[in-house]
Structure 1
Amino acid sequence: MLHEQIRRLRTARGITQVELAHRLGVSKQSVSNWESNNIQSSIELLEKIADLFGVTTDHLLGREPLQMLDVSGLTAQQIVHLQMLIEDLRQGKRES
């Protein structure tokens, strides 16, 4: 479900509700309401959320499985480097 996906993606990246709200230009209460499944985001915000986390809207809506990498045993610095590499690869894919 959408609310679970948003919470999972946010926490996996170590982003607080306040930080996510700031990045999306919404209130912390909006993020809290999405994650509590009290309200749904607009289509425009759904697209922004997908772009921010580097996933598709289909993934957010539970229509596309997410592939996961096991980073257990890696240092925090190594994980950050992997995240940067993945973002660079995604940017290259979007530009082609």
Structure 2
Amino acid sequence: MLNDNIKRLRLSFQISQVELAKKLGVSKQCVSNWENDNVLPSIEMLVKLAQIFNVTTDNLLDLDSSETINVKGLNEKEISHIKCVVQDLLNLK
């Protein structure tokens, strides 16, 4: 559910509803309403939420469960290292 995803991501980023609201230019009550499934965020807010949490809008909406990692600013060696770590973690399962 979208409301659960917003709350889960907000908590994983260790930011309060007030902090998220400031980043989005909305009230704390607005964020609270989204998380309590009282209202849905607008398309514009969905895009902003996705950008803040570095996920796709499909991921926010539970249409795609894949995760992405932003490697912008890393060199090829660093990216290769991250790929190896991910593969090692997958092999543990």
State TM-score, norm by structure 2: 0.73
Query: SS at the partner of 1:62?
Result: coil
Paired position in structure 1 for 2:34: 34
Q: Which residue number corresponds to residue 8 of structure 1? A: 8
1:1-96 equivalences in 2 (<5 Å): 1-67=1-67, 87=70, 89=71, 91=72
- 1:36 positional shift: 0.1
CA RMSD of superposed structures (Å): 2.0
Mapped contact 2:55–2:67 kept (Cα < 8 A): no
TM-score normalised by structure 1 residue count? 0.71
C-alpha separation in 2, matches of 1:5 and 1:66:
13
Q: Could you tell me which runs of 5 or more consecutive residues in structure 2 were left unpaired when the two chains were aligned.
A: 74-93
Q: Tell me which stretches of 4 or more aligned residues in structure 1 moved more than 2 Å.
A: none
Mapped partners of 1:47, 1:13: distance in 2: 17
| Counterparts of 1:52 and 1:29, CA distance in 2 | 18
Q: Could you tell me how far apart the structure 1 residues matched to 2:66 and 2:11 are?
A: 15
| Residue segments in structure 1 that go unaligned for 5+ positions in a row | 69-85
Identity %: 53
